[in-house]
Chains A and B, each alone.
Chain A
Amino acid sequence: MKLFNRFLSVFCVGALVVFSACEDDDPTPENVPEVITRAELTFTAIDNSSAPAVVVTATDADGIGSAEELEADGPINLRANVTYALSIKLYNDLFDAGEEGYDVTEEVDEEDEEHWFFFGFTSGVFSNPTGNGNIISASFPNNGTVRYADEDDDGRPLGLLTNWTTINDNSGSGKIFRVILKHFDEVEKTDDSTSDDGETDIDVTFVINVTQPS
């Protein structure tokens, strides 16, 4: 019995220590490496049209939490009847430039067999490809194709680099251009993978205008 009492007293003293030991202790911030805060789309003319390059960005300061709404600049003002190469860069601005984790493009490139960019657009913007792209959506039936200019290690499309030829008139104004990056981890990326499979890394939409130079 005495032993038991002693045990209890020791326990209670222990509990007291726990109480007084709680003097703390601001939480340490976490690195948030999975986040993409900025997507940069660069359209560069690859024919001899000498059309200027067009750069648009979608910025989401917090990436995940959406405290700050996504701000997509643009519109994407392309010149009619020009073939552009679209190159996509992804960044995590919660890191400083140069820090590991800042340039997410590198990661996507390294894990290319786990990633796939899908594109959706209003028909009548491009002469090649035609249709609506390959995103499955009610408003953009995926009846189109995308000209992928790169591939992953397994020879499947990736989409960091794609080619686009604009229509040859003025009708392509106020249209929509949407990019989805899918990440295939739980499900494998296969030839049949669609924009409905995998996890979404980015999903951004821009207004696109195609005009003839006046």
Chain B
Amino acid sequence: MLHVLKAVFTFFLLGYAVALVAQTNCGFRLRGRVLNESQEPLAGATVVLTEPSKGESTNQEGAFEFRNVCAGRYTVEVRFVGYQAQQQVVSVPQSDDVVFALVVDATQLNEVVVTDRRAENPVSTATVITAKQLEAAPGKSLGEVLQTVSGVNSIQSGPAIFKPVIHGVHSQRVLILNNGIRQEGQQWGAEHAPEIDPFTAHTITVIKDAGAIKYGTDALGGVIIITPAELPEEPGLGGQVNMIANSNNRGLTFSGMLEGGLAKPGWGWRVQGTGKYAGDSRAPDYVLSNTGFREQNFSAALGYHRKNKGVEVYYSQFNTEIGILKGSSTSNGNDLVAAIENEPPRLTAPFTYAIGQPRQEVRHDLIKLNGHLSQGAHTWQVQYGFQYNERQEFDIRRGSLRQRPQLAFDLFTHTLDVDWETAHENRIRCRGINGMFQDNNKIDGTSTIPFIPNFRHYSVGAFWIEQFRGPRWDTEIGVRYDYRLYDASGFTLLNRPYESQVQFHNMSGTLGATRKLSPGHKLINTLATAWRPPNVAELYSAGTHQSVATIEYGLLLTPDGTAVRDYRDSNVRPEQAVKWVSTYQWTARAFSLEVSAYANYIANYIYLRPRGVNSTIRGFFPLSVYTQTDASFLGADLKTTWQWNRELSSEAKASWLRATDERENDFLIFIPSNRVELSMRYEPHRTLGTARLFAEARGRYVARQQRAPRVVRMPDIIDNALMGRDIIEEDPRNFDFVAPPPAYVWLGCSVGAEIPAGKTRMTVRLAAENLLNTSYREYTNRMRYYADEVGRNINLALKWAF
């Protein structure tokens, strides 16, 4: 089997090499102009193209251009301050410019603040975070930026580690496409944030239904698509510089980008880099010791785009070193008691930039090669990605081992995607194949038994999607087949070697329909199935890792953890999900409303379930075992915007989620609680010189998680264990060591100015986060056991685009 797979991969690669040498690659352009009623160009109008959703602004001549557009039919929407938004359906390829003549909005001469733009994929519930919104979250990590989308939260580990959660599901169940490549990093803990620099993104799209069948398995919760800006095609030079300072962690961020076109038409390049340097964050009452971080990122791209073909090479590197709150470090259950009870946390020290143990060092590299070619109604695309991820976790250790990581792994990932799209008048057909090969190895010399085995992972998949577009209905139907193989060799907890092979294969499907109601009203329904094979950590984990005073056993470990079972003899099954999402959209002149309701049923849902107390020579440890159950996630997201008058607008967002362990009729842990967010934005019509000013206020109410598992206090566990009683084994329901934190209100505000100066643009923004310096804890932050959240932060961001 392995040999066959290897042959298939080799074939892919060879085919790819040949294809590249034969130079067969490209895309279409869609150009247009935006004019007013007197045929004068409108500069700075927002132009949105549907699926793959792209956004552009018009230049001084009112012109816009989209590159690398695949053949098909699209809706193009144009919006501009004081004008009525306009939509046109266009076919690509299109030789003529698309002209929009916007009509002044007589009733409302003011701007519709486009804070959240809908991708017009007819049959998908997607939210786009625009370049402008990214600008409003300067220097934030990816997970933090994503929280601006309703229905998206994050599981945090301290102030700098954010792992995105979509509709209550996270980790491997959320697929991240970084620059078109499926992001692959090590996933054996909740403290693993995506290794992506948001400064590389132009837009970020969040697809919240499971219908992302095109991108592969695992997308049970949704897909996050990070899209960089298109490369320039004309000679010239442009770029931007960002500088951000934060008061709370005394951190500085610097990011710069330079791009240009080569003398030869069609060629463009871009280089970009980001550096971050921050010390300890501060809660209102104490320093969060050892929460500083560093980040150095770099990316470069070179591309050639012509009418119907293009190639692109992209390289990025991400490096980070993050400190983990000292007070969260525990060596057994007893220490955990002290860590939880101490306030301020143990080992709290004065502010420092220094990072001690525990900490993590992570590096991620991505090389992407992409080629596309269009001919008539057909577009072919080939994409190869290479990723390297190194992860080292350092804990408090003894003597000479102090400088050695507790856990250290290398992960190599190769991906190859080939797809072929055929676009006819009312019908688009897309089919493709995906291949992936991964090689994970421990880095020798940790002097610990590795938490996960060395493994190789082979995946192949194929999909077929049909889209039909009609006057009242848009529909989509798709199927997908996947095969996956893990070949693992690791060590048991007795440091004895083992070998294990596991294979999975499965079909999944999607069905979507959009009903266009009366003008301004739309109803989108999608029903999708998705599946996810357990990942290696879920199968083979053995031991304990960073600041988790819990021993974890994978699904395939025997109950005593000393051996690994054969998959075929186990009752381990892949996760199977059915997700239904219905979204109703109503867009009127000064008002918009979007309501989504969803139900996601995940059979064989994998999670860490407490099983008992293990007595070790170092004392008692809670033991958690990866377990499967059936889980349901029912929820709703709401978003509405109002334009009060020409200068004042507001937005309200709310999300509600109810997650249940259906087999045990129990609650699941770390499910985001319900929340509401309100914001107001004031943009005076008059400018100050050339500067356009703005002020914004934001408030968030986060409810207490009422649906949290019962509380079992660690001292009770230990004292009973001392008497020979295992109270967790007696009642193995989910539990948590402390009750969920109370509800909280969070306020923030910002003021800023946008100053155009010739061809350049300067943006200044001064923001206050946690304005009232409230002490609070967030249920989905693992730091909540030990310490309060970050207190007030003043953030000054400067951006200069040229």
Count residues of B near A (Cβ-Cβ below 8 Å): 76
Q: Kindly report which residue of chain B lies nearest to residue A11, judged by CB atoms.
A: B369
Residue B447, interface by CB 8 Å: yes
Q: Given A16-B13, A30-B449, A200-B335, A8 and B618 touching (CB < 8 A)?
A: no
B16 and A27 form a contact (CB under 8 A): no
Q: Mark B408-451, 1 if CB is under 8 A from A, else 0.
A: 00001010000000000000000000000101011011111110
Q: Kindly report which residue of chain B lies nearest to residue A196, judged by CB atoms.
A: B338
Tell me, in angstroms, the Cα distance from A9 to B398 when the chains sit together: 49
Q: How far is the CB of A204 from chain B (nearest CB, A)?
A: 6
Neighbouring B residues of A33 by C-beta, 8 Å: 401, 447
Q: How far is the CB of A49 from chain B (nearest CB, A)?
A: 30
Q: Kindly report which residue of chain A lies nearest to residue B371, judged by CB atoms.
A: A8
Q: Given A9-B21, A27-B489, A201-B618, A66 and B13 touching (CB < 8 A)?
A: no
Q: Given A12-B16, A67-B562, A186-B357, A61 and B447 touching (CB < 8 A)?
A: no
A186 and B326 form a contact (CB under 8 A): yes
A30 and B444 form a contact (CB under 8 A): yes
Residue B774, interface by CB 8 Å: no
Q: Classify the interface of chain A: helix, strand, loop or mixed.
A: loop
Neighbouring A residues of B454 by C-beta, 8 Å: 25, 27
B561 and A66 form a contact (CB under 8 A): yes
Q: Given A27-B453, A67-B493, A204 and B447 touching (CB < 8 A)?
A: no
Q: Mark B540-564, 1 if CB is under 8 A from A, else 0.
A: 0011100000010000000011100
Q: Given A13-B17, A67-B542, A203-B618, A19 and B396 touching (CB < 8 A)?
A: no
B616 and A94 form a contact (CB under 8 A): no
Residue A36, interface by CB 8 Å: yes
Residue B775, interface by CB 8 Å: no
Q: Kindly report which residue of chain B lies nearest to residue A139, judged by CB atoms.
A: B719
Q: Given A62-B493, A67-B494, A176 and B614 touching (CB < 8 A)?
A: no
Residue from B13, B356, B456 within 8 A of A12 (CB atoms)? B13
Residue B85, interface by CB 8 Å: no
Residue from A20, A30, A59, A203 within 8 A of B450 (CB atoms)? A30
Neighbouring B residues of A20 by C-beta, 8 Å: 6, 10
Q: Which of A18-58 contact B (CB under 8 A)?
A: 18-20, 22, 25-34, 36-39, 58
Q: Mark A183-207, 1 if CB is under 8 A from B, else 0.
A: 1011100000000110111111100
Q: Interface size bucket, A side?
A: 35 or more
- B-side residues, CB < 8 A to A, are 6, 9-10, 13-14, 16-17, 20-21, 23, 311, 313, 326, 329, 331-332, 334-335, 338, 346-347, 356-357, 369, 384, 386, 396-399, 401-402, 412, 414, 437, 439, 441-442, 444-450, 453-454, 456, 489-495, 497, 542-544, 551, 560-562, 614-621, 623, 715, 718-719, 722
- List 21 contacting pairs A-B, 8 Å CB cutoff, sorted by A: A9-B21, A12-B384, A15-B386, A19-B9, A25-B441, A30-B442, A31-B447, A33-B447, A34-B397, A37-B617, A63-B617, A64-B618, A65-B449, A65-B542, A65-B561, A67-B493, A67-B562, A70-B615, A138-B715, A185-B398, A203-B334
- A-side residues, CB < 8 A to B, are 1, 5, 8-9, 11-13, 15-16, 18-20, 22, 25-34, 36-39, 58-70, 94, 107, 111, 137-139, 176, 178, 180, 183, 185-187, 196-197, 199-205
Besides A27-B489, A69-B615, 8 more A-B contacts (Cβ < 8 Å) are A16-B10, A19-B6, A27-B490, A61-B494, A65-B493, A65-B494, A137-B334, A185-B397
